[in-house]
Amino acid sequence: MRHVHGRARRAGAALAALLTWAGLLAGAAGCTSDGDGIGSGIGSGIGEMFGKQPAAEDVIRVTPDDGSKAVPPEKKLSVRVPDGRLESVKVVRSQDAQETPVPGRISEDGLSWRPDDDRLALAAKYTVDAVALDGGGHRSARHTTFTTKVPEERFIAYVAPENRSVVGTGMIVSLEFNREITHRAAVERAVTVTAEPAVEIRPHWFGKDRLDFRPKSYWKPGTEVTVDLALRDVEGAKGVYGLQHKKVTFTVGRSQVSRVDALERTMEVRRDGTLLATVPITAGAPTTPTYNGRMVITEMLEVTRMNSRTVGFGGEYDIPDVPHAIRLTSSGTFLHGNYWAPADTFGRANVSHGCIGLRDDKGGGSDTPAGWFFDRSLVGDVVEVVHSKDKTVAPDNGLGGWNMKWKQWKAGSAVK
């Protein structure tokens, strides 16, 4: 009897277990589900018995890690799943109080997502929202954030000419950086200069803080030029990153090239190839001659002070009100009005300290040679000096790059 009783008890336990399974299955079958929710349907019931669904961070793996701070820009952003497939990935970059979607694409096999641009922006917050199906067909969603490094040092470029300006055909695009650039190729690649109508434009480095662009010959009148600075987050030197992402546009106006003959003491002014006038001038004295070569107008001042000590001389002159001053070099060569020399000096004697003087009135006359030329000039116009006893102006003295042969100019690029 005891033996039979033990068998009956085991049979009863088996029956109870069978009834329990049946109840679970019946209960699971009674649940409603669209087949997509985690923890729904028969599978979830069994899953709850034998273990939880994998955590979202195990199904969807995001790099950099959630909550990371000061992530370096070279760190790769990626979203991936070990099996199954990614359904959607949305990444947003918050920077300078602006939110920008980060474009990217899911791989053909559905296992990974990468951004189109591998480099992260600096001083930015990234938000990643991803949805994926795992190998068992269960949907998971993940939301992560991380922030990138805030650099201590930045560099910017000062651009000439000014945005939306109209310039002469000799204008050279010149970028001067506020810090030395040692990663010159990276910076050069981040600057694009284009023209309409199209023309070949090449860069040339002068030292570590200046990058100029020009075509082989003077621009054609009417050309529209765009300078695109994509310098933001570009590493210009170790630990020094660019700050700008901007465009500068300018229009090339009419052609005006003036030829100064230091021996004849005249200046021929030609507009679109036609001679407008021949103006008497005074150039540099024999002991302080004017540079030879092609110079470009970079600045025009109605009146300015000229002091010999600021350009390397002694106390030879200090004139507080020089009228119609047109800068030709960074070292201090101007073409300007002169009211202090006798009128018969112009066209007859060279008496200046290297500048080119045109007759003018004190305060600047409108009907004087200097006033006439000033009113007809643009930044970017060319003034070429010939037959002076001085050397040719250096290519980096002002916008003197036209004095460099094209082959030599092109050799000044850092991108080989």
Each residue's pLDDT tens digit, 303-314: 999 887 767 676
The CATH number linked to 189 is 2.60.40.3710
Do 189 and 263 have their domain in common? no
Question: What is residue 16's predicted lDDT score, i.e. its pLDDT?
Answer: 42
Do 304 and 354 have their domain in common? yes
What is the C-alpha separation between 326 and 313, in angstroms, rounded?
A: 20
355 is a catalytic site residue: yes
Sign of the alpha-carbon dihedral angle for 279, 215, 301, 354: negative
Amino acid identity of residue 119, one-letter, is R
Do 268 and 374 have their domain in common? yes
Q: The tokens of 270 are what?
A: 């030609």
Question: Does a structural domain hold residue 49?
Answer: no
Question: Does a structural domain hold residue 85?
Answer: yes
**Lowest mean pLDDT, pick from 151-160, 244-253, 270-279, 316-325:** 316-325
Question: Does a structural domain hold residue 36?
Answer: no
Question: Does a structural domain hold residue 162?
Answer: yes
Do 160 and 131 have their domain in common? no
Question: Does a structural domain hold residue 219?
Answer: yes
Average of per-residue pLDDT values in the chain? 88
Count of structural domains, the chain: 3
Nearest residue to 95 (alpha-carbon basis) of 156, 148, 144, 142? 148
Question: What is residue 132's predicted lDDT score, i.e. its pLDDT?
Answer: 96
Nearest residue to 179 (alpha-carbon basis) of 236, 120, 252, 111? 236
Q: The tokens of 238 are what?
A: 């170790």
Do 284 and 361 have their domain in common? yes
Which residue range forms the structural domain that includes residue 60?
56-147
Do 168 and 273 have their domain in common? no
Question: What is residue 55's predicted lDDT score, i.e. its pLDDT?
Answer: 86
As a whole number, mean pLDDT of residues 9-35 equals 38
Contacts with 416 (C-beta within 8 Å, 6 or more apart), sequence order:
none
**Does the global pTM surpass 0.75?**
yes
Question: Does a structural domain hold residue 361?
Answer: yes
Do 75 and 136 have their domain in common? yes
Do 159 and 138 have their domain in common? no
Question: Does a structural domain hold residue 19?
Answer: no
The CATH number linked to 361 is 2.40.440.10
Residue ending a domain, choose from 226, 253, 280: 253
Q: pLDDT tens across 259-291, in order?
A: 999 999 999 999 999 999 999 999 999 999 999
Phi then psi for residue 210, to 5 deg, are -145, 135
Residue ending a domain, choose from 102, 119, 147: 147
Q: pLDDT band for 51, please (50, 70, 90 cuts).
A: low
Question: What is residue 182's predicted lDDT score, i.e. its pLDDT?
Answer: 98
Q: Residue 160 pLDDT more than 70?
A: yes
Question: Does a structural domain hold residue 413?
Answer: no
Do 279 and 374 have their domain in common? yes
What are the start-end ranges of the H helices in 37-132? 41-50, 56-59
Residue ending a domain, choose from 147, 169, 184: 147
Catalytic residue among 138, 204, 324, 336: 336
**Residue of 174 and 306 predicted with greater confidence:** 174
What is the C-alpha separation between 186 and 209, in angstroms, rounded?
A: 14
Catalytic residue among 204, 324, 353, 355: 355
Contact 182, 208 (CB under 8 A): yes
Contact 100, 93 (CB under 8 A): yes
Question: What is residue 54's predicted lDDT score, i.e. its pLDDT?
Answer: 81
Do 312 and 346 have their domain in common? yes
Q: How far does Cα 161 stand from its chain's mean position?
A: 15
Q: pLDDT tens across 194-229, in order?
A: 999 999 999 999 999 999 999 999 999 999 999 999
31 is a catalytic site residue: no
Do 331 and 241 have their domain in common? no
The CATH number linked to 89 is 2.60.40.3780
Do 184 and 129 have their domain in common? no
As a whole number, mean pLDDT of residues 60-66 equals 97
